[in-house]
Structure 1
Amino acid sequence: MAATPDGCEHYVRSCLLKAPCCGKFYVCRLCHDGEEKHQLDRFKVREVRCAACSTIQEAQQTCKECDVKFGEYYCDVCHLFDKDKKQYHCQPCGICRIGPKEKYFHCTKCNLCLATDLKDNHKCVENVSRQNCPVCMEDIHTSRIGAHVLPCGHLLHKTCFDDMCITGAYRCPLCMRSAFNMKEFWEDQDKEIAQSPMPTEYRDTTVKIICNDCQAHCTVSFHVLGLKCSSCGSYNTAQYGGTISLSLSL
């Protein structure tokens, strides 16, 4: 595959990687994986070819023949060449992350780099990024798409989270907890229910529910527009069992 000083659609670089798996030259692992039926192991790359003079050489930041700089940023572990995006290599993650480094910290339990404003302010889920995104089922840990941390601690791609919001989905696909602060939505639900009384024969009917947000089991008044948790006020609930009528025959 030909390369230019601009690299490819994925990275800005002036060299091609020699794939240790098939011996072919590709601008990056993503270009390789898009054309081959196997994946390129970035950590096993040993040689590159200069895009300017075509010299094949040991992986390094600058061409030994023409002094072209292969990338503003270079990691000799990941063999990542790219323009400067304030990248840094995180040893516990095992890969390079887009920085700047001082704005991120590595959570040992989550085993992932997170924004510093989440330090002591997020729910840890062990090795959370080693699971695929529950929306698109693609890898999160090594993805070039940023991850969004839900209040429950689960991760999904930022783009997948945005798509959820557009379609009106508001629950974590894994644990069903609310994916963001729903207080205003619940208040609107309260008003709508108050303005829509149930028919007389159902006004004393109750149902058993479980709240997806606080896990409480409650017996609440039945309403077709929503079942409100009496513990935390959430409408993110699920009914179990049948209805119970409290009406008495005289």
Structure 2
Amino acid sequence: MEASPNDRLHFGKMGFGCHHYRRRCQIRAPCCNEVFDCRHCHNESTSTLRNIYDRHDLVRQDVKQVICSVCDTEQPAAQLCSNCGVNMGEYFCDICKFYDDDTEKGQFHCDDCGICRVGGRENFFHCKKCGSCYAISLRNNHRCVENSMRHHCPICYEYLFDSLKDTNVMKCGHTMHQECYQEMLKRDKFCCPICSRSVIDMSKTWQRLDEEIEATAMPSDYRDKKVWILCNDCNDTTEVYFHIIGQKCGHCRSYNTRAISPPVLPQ
């Protein structure tokens, strides 16, 4: 029995592709004229040590030619194969030249970002100042940092804007990979690697430090010494009494501070 046009259209769905995407085509990279399953496969290939002097990333919008995985026909990028008629990607973006058969990801193209994202358009908004799409829960609920996603993760140094990994927006507005953020907390690092502000509620920790300082008297030679501090949490400068355990901000009561002058005795 001859296959119906609809059967031919969806033939091979989820049966081709790579570990990044399930799709029924490969791409020819215009930068090196080689064929890869996707741009990430290309970038990983050029990142290997043997190619260190030829390392380069593929610009997704520059892809012009694709090869159908079903009939092996090379052709200009389009959703349907010009030879066998198969749908080379259930989701297709003509701007990004992006193909993906797994539509459960909720792919959508953001015109402001200029790239495709996943997770469902209804679940995201584009923050003009931050320059990226954020979850709806962060609308009017985050500190804006200009182009906050257009930099490298401060932990693993992968570029965040088009990373495939989940990202986390910290209280200070800076961003990093979610998995890097969790690993940072596991190692008892609670300050933003970029601006040094506290990334979680530290009030209970500050209370414990209050109690430790109250119970730990300084030697008489240091008891009346003062030091100027800069608070990483509120950016205020304060002159406070020096203590070996820590110096408390006189404005926001945080111990996330650093000395900006040596301890001095009062005149």
> TM-score, normalization: structure 1?
0.89
Contact 1:186 1:235 (8 Å CA) reproduced: yes
Match of 2:242 among 222, 228, 250: 222
% same residue? 43
Q: 2:174 aligns with which of 154, 158, 162?
A: 154
Aligned amino acid, residue 217 of structure 2: P
Give how far 1:30 is off.
1.2
After superposing the two structures, state which structure 1 stretch, 133-142 or 16-25, moved more.
Answer: 133-142
Q: TM-score when scaled to structure 2?
A: 0.84
Structure 2 residue identity aligned to 1:28: C
Shift in Å, 1:197: 2.9
**How far is the alpha carbon of 1:206 from its aligned partner?**
2.5
Which one of 53, 58, 71 corresponds to residue 40 of structure 1? 58
After superposition, residues 28-177 of structure 1 pair within 5 angstroms as: 28-36=38-46, 37=54, 38-82=56-100, 83-84=102-103, 85-177=105-197
- How many residues are aligned here? 244
Does the 8 Å CA contact 2:130/2:148 hold for their aligned counterparts? Answer: yes
Q: Match of 2:218, as an amino acid?
A: M
> Could you tell me which residue of structure 2 aligns to residue 26 of structure 1?
36
Backbone CA RMSD of aligned residues: 2.0
- Distance in 2 separating the partners of 1:53 and 1:196: 77
Per-residue displacement from partner, 1:58-106 (whole Å, max 9, x unpaired)?
A: 2222333334332232211111122110011000101011121111111
Structure 1 residue 232, shift from structure 2 partner? 0.6
Task: Summarize the alignment of residues 160-199 of structure 1 with structure 2, pairs less than 5 Å apart.
Answer: 160-199=180-219
Unaligned stretches of 5+ in structure 2? Answer: 1-13, 47-53
Q: What secondary structure is seen at the aligned counterpart in 2 of 1:202?
A: coil
How far has the Cα of 1:6 moved from its partner?
3.5
Q: Which amino acid aligns with 1:152?
A: C
**Counterpart residue number, 2:251:** 231
1:170 is matched by which residue type in structure 2? Answer: F
Contact 1:203 1:222 in 2 (8 A): yes
Partner of 1:7: 17
SS of equivalent to 2:226:
strand
Rounded to whole Å, the distance in 2 between the matches of 1:191 and 1:68 is 70
Give the whole-Å Cα distance in 2 for the aligned partners of 1:165 and 1:230. Answer: 26
**Partner AA of 2:88 in structure 1:** F
C-alpha displacement of 1:183: 1.7
Which sits farther off after the overlay, 226-235 or 38-47? 38-47
Hey, what's the Cα distance between the residues in 1 that align with 2:206 and 2:99? 48
Can you list the C-alpha shifts for 1:135-177, whole angstroms capped at 9, x where unaligned? 3332111111222112111122222212211222221222211
Give 2:132's aligned amino acid. L
- Report the residue type matching 2:75 in the other structure: Q
1:5, 1:51 within 8 Å by CA — same for their partners in 2?
no
Question: Quick one: which amino acid aligns to residue 56 of structure 1?
Answer: E
Structure 1 position 17, deviation (Å) = 0.6
Secondary structure of 1:133's aligned partner: coil
* Structure 1 residue ranges, 4+ long, deviating more than 6 angstroms after superposition: none
Taking the aligned partners of 1:69 and 1:189, their CA distance within structure 2 comes to 63
CA distance in structure 2 between the aligned counterparts of 1:186 and 1:97, rounded to whole angstroms: 40
Distance 2:235 2:42 in 1: 46
The one-letter code sitting in structure 1 at the alignment partner of 2:29 is: A
Q: Equivalent of 2:232, from 194, 198, 212?
A: 212
